[in-house]
Structure 1
Amino acid sequence: MSNRDIQPFQFACPNCEERISFVFGQEDGELRGANELIIKPNELFNGENPFIDLHLDFPVYFGKYEMGMTTFMRVTREISLDAYRHLNLRLDMLNRLYPMQHDLRSVITQFKRGDIDSFEKTCARLPGVNLKSHKQQDVLAALYSATSIMSSPFTIHGVNAEISEGAPQICRWLHESHPDKTLEFIEEILANEFLRNLHNDCLSLYRLFAFKGVADF
């Protein structure tokens, strides 16, 4: 079990491979792919039925039931306690993001529509996001703060730092080595709105990926 409000579970029957799913926390989350049976407590773990250990944050486990072998004990034994703590940190971040998912979606939609007044109100409700003014640079800074929050449970800081430091160096080298062609290229992608469209497409991916991740986890 998890402390999240909505908890979707899904696995394949080890006998017939039928997909079985159910969701805790929502009205239409009934059991699908199987029939619910009433079994006496002393018959639950007698070995007659397959034992399937379900946990929202870890892979489904199929095997023999062992008394006292909880999901936590199994996972820490398989990936180490340090790795589990790192994973748990990211899961905690997802838990904190979940209640903010509507505002995090809205802030992208409002930016793309140019509705900066609503954008400002939404930013005020997001911890760590501050819109200093309606100037373009401040709007973009607030937007990037919001998208950083969205992606924080899924990103690796070292990789992000490498990209952030490497990309400007490539642009600088291109401008120094091929100044005329580089400026011509930049003017072209600005004129045909390629950068604007690419920016909006990337923002759409944030909405799709980040919140599918929040729901799935």
Structure 2
Amino acid sequence: MNLNISVLCDTCQEQTNCRLGFSNREYQPLRFRCASCGAPIDITMTLNFENVGADIQVKNAKRIYSEEFKPETNFVDLHLDFPVSFGKYIMGITPFIAASMRIDHKDMPIHAIRIEGLNKIFKQREKIKNIFTLYKRNKHELFKEKSLEFLGSKMGCDTELDRNRALYFVIERAFFPFSEPKKKLDTVAFFKHKLIELESVNKEALFLFINKVVENGFLKNTQKDCLEVYPRIIDIELMLRPALFLDFDKQYENCPVPYRVSSHEFLETKDLYKDIAEIISRALVLVAGINNLLKRDSHDVFAAKKRTPSNLDKFTDFSLGEKLNYIDDSWYSLSGDVMDNHLRNSIAHYKVEYNDVTQEIIYYPKREGMKQKCSESMYFLDFSRRILLAFRELHRLNLLTKCLFNFYYLEILGWQGTPYDL
């Protein structure tokens, strides 16, 4: 369903024609910037599913009557679930139709399932965030109560092993729309295989490594760092909906085009990318330790290079870019170009400009003193996609912490797991 409306900007009195594409979400906050003055204009739709209607509220502009959408008048397509093009109004080519023309017909139902999952996450967001808080604060009884209620389960949840299992069941249930299910299963199986391989070859060295990262608190702190990100992803689920669509849009992958995101803005979310990169950098210490075990039988021994870290503790203080240089021929590879150091460093050093109207991000990754000449650019949708891919990578590394904890409890401490259902 779509609705055409016209609004007059409160700041400059410029008219903008809007085609509003309806998502299957009760509350739909949409935003764009006036093409004339750059002022933010918010259009909020609250759906009434019983009466098949919608309450539409406009902020920073006034809704006006317009007989037709004339080509010389500013125009925006708006939709929460799909990227929308900058350009002129074309009757009939709604955001849904335009999106359907870009992907395989079998993929649209999958995108719809993910979107419906996000709708449920939004409704349960406070419960989900509360479960993470209770786990991090070691409120064991309350965590057990709330997590099992969320899961609809009666599984054991009285030991660290059981609580660890319950936590990751909650994560998988709550965040499945963002994940790639088959890759998740393959990842966990791969981690287990590597640990079993190491145990069969050098059990003593593996146990020494795992004991170290557990006893010095590094494994728990890495897990807690990862858990800090999940609630922040819930907060920007609207922004990530169009980014999820790009999983299926192979045309975009081969030839990116300017696309608009109809909710959130760059300045609201820029720090999240930087923070995820830092947590991934920290988690790579675990990857490096296992890599050293596989190749040199000690988690502290790196391949000889210039400025080679003397041990894993020294490696921990290296930057993300430096760390990647010392994980030689790694058993674990970051997915694609998930970490853009140029972008991350530019954000960290406030060397980024954002055009509110076109949603173009311009950043300056090089050290140029007071001058800023060498720039790179992307659109906000590309940045949203980077956050999604970075979050998926963080989630994979968080699954590694899960596997290491399980190995510690089961193989080193010799605990017995409890049945899933009691």
For residue 108 of structure 1, what is the aligned residue in structure 2?
A: 132
For residue 94 of structure 1, what is the aligned residue in structure 2?
A: 118
Q: Which moved more, 1:105-114 or 1:46-55?
A: 46-55
2: CA distance, partners of 1:104 / 1:51: 38
Question: Please, which runs of 5 or more residues in structure 1 have no aligned partner?
Answer: none
The amino acid across from 2:75 in the alignment is F
2: CA distance, partners of 1:17 / 1:164: 51
Stretches of 4+ moved more than 6 A in 1? none
For residue 157 of structure 1, what is the aligned residue in structure 2?
A: 181
Which of 66, 73, 78 is residue 41 of structure 1 equivalent to?
66
Aligned-residue RMSD, C-alpha: 2.5
Encode CA deviations 1:170-189: one digit per residue, 9 max, x unaligned: 11222232333222212211
Q: Is the 8 A contact 1:22 1:30 kept in 2?
A: yes
Which of 190, 212, 215 is residue 235 of structure 2 equivalent to?
212
Question: Higher helix fraction: Structure 1 or Structure 2?
Answer: 1
Residue 75 to residue 31, structure 1, CA distance change in 2 (3 Å): same
- Give 1:154 deviation, angstroms: 0.6
Question: Higher strand fraction: Structure 1 or Structure 2?
Answer: 2
For residues 8-157 of structure 1, the aligned pairs below 5 Å read 8-13=29-34, 15-16=35-36, 18=38, 20-22=40-42, 24=44, 31=59, 35-36=61-62, 38=64, 40-43=65-68, 45-157=69-181
Q: Is the 8 A contact 2:77 2:95 kept in 1?
A: yes
Q: Is the 8 A contact 1:53 1:61 kept in 2?
A: yes
Secondary structure of 1:22 counterpart: strand
Question: Please, which runs of 5 or more residues in structure 2 have no aligned partner?
Answer: 1-21, 47-56, 242-422
Q: Which moved more, 1:129-138 or 1:77-86?
A: 129-138
Residue 184 to residue 142, structure 1, CA distance change in 2 (3 Å): closer
Q: Which moved more, 1:147-156 or 1:176-185?
A: 176-185
- Give 1:148 deviation, angstroms: 0.7
Q: Is the 8 A contact 1:11 1:60 kept in 2?
A: no
The amino acid across from 1:2 in the alignment is S
Residue 57 to residue 50, structure 1, CA distance change in 2 (3 Å): same
- Give 1:50 deviation, angstroms: 2.3
Residue 206 to residue 129, structure 1, CA distance change in 2 (3 Å): farther
- Give 1:56 deviation, angstroms: 0.7
- Give 1:52 deviation, angstroms: 1.4
Q: Is the 8 A contact 1:10 1:22 kept in 2?
A: yes
Secondary structure of 2:145 counterpart: helix
- Give 1:129 deviation, angstroms: 4.7
The amino acid across from 1:36 in the alignment is K
Q: Is the 8 A contact 1:6 1:25 kept in 2?
A: yes
Encode CA deviations 1:25-54: one digit per residue, 9 max, x unaligned: 69xx8635xx4363x3314x0223122111
For residue 25 of structure 2, what is the aligned residue in structure 1?
A: 4
For residue 169 of structure 1, what is the aligned residue in structure 2?
A: 193
Q: Is the 8 A contact 2:24 2:116 kept in 1?
A: no
1: CA distance, partners of 2:188 / 2:220: 20
Q: TM-score, normalised by structure 2?
A: 0.45
- Give 1:204 deviation, angstroms: 1.5
User: Is the counterpart of residue 182 in structure 1 residue 210 in structure 2?
Assistant: no
- Give 1:131 deviation, angstroms: 4.6
- Greater RCO, CA 8 A, separation 6+: 2
Which of 221, 225, 243 is residue 197 of structure 1 equivalent to?
221
- Give 1:128 deviation, angstroms: 4.0
Residue 163 to residue 134, structure 1, CA distance change in 2 (3 Å): same
Q: Is the 8 A contact 1:105 1:207 kept in 2?
A: yes
1: CA distance, partners of 2:42 / 2:160: 46
Q: TM-score, normalised by structure 1?
A: 0.82
Secondary structure of 2:42 counterpart: strand
Secondary structure of 1:2 counterpart: coil
Residue 137 to residue 184, structure 1, CA distance change in 2 (3 Å): closer
Encode CA deviations 1:53-87: one digit per residue, 9 max, x unaligned: 11011112233323233222221112232222221
Residue 103 to residue 161, structure 1, CA distance change in 2 (3 Å): same
Secondary structure of 1:63 counterpart: coil
Q: Is the 8 A contact 2:157 2:166 kept in 1?
A: no
What's the % identity of the aligned pairs? Answer: 26
1: CA distance, partners of 2:37 / 2:194: 50
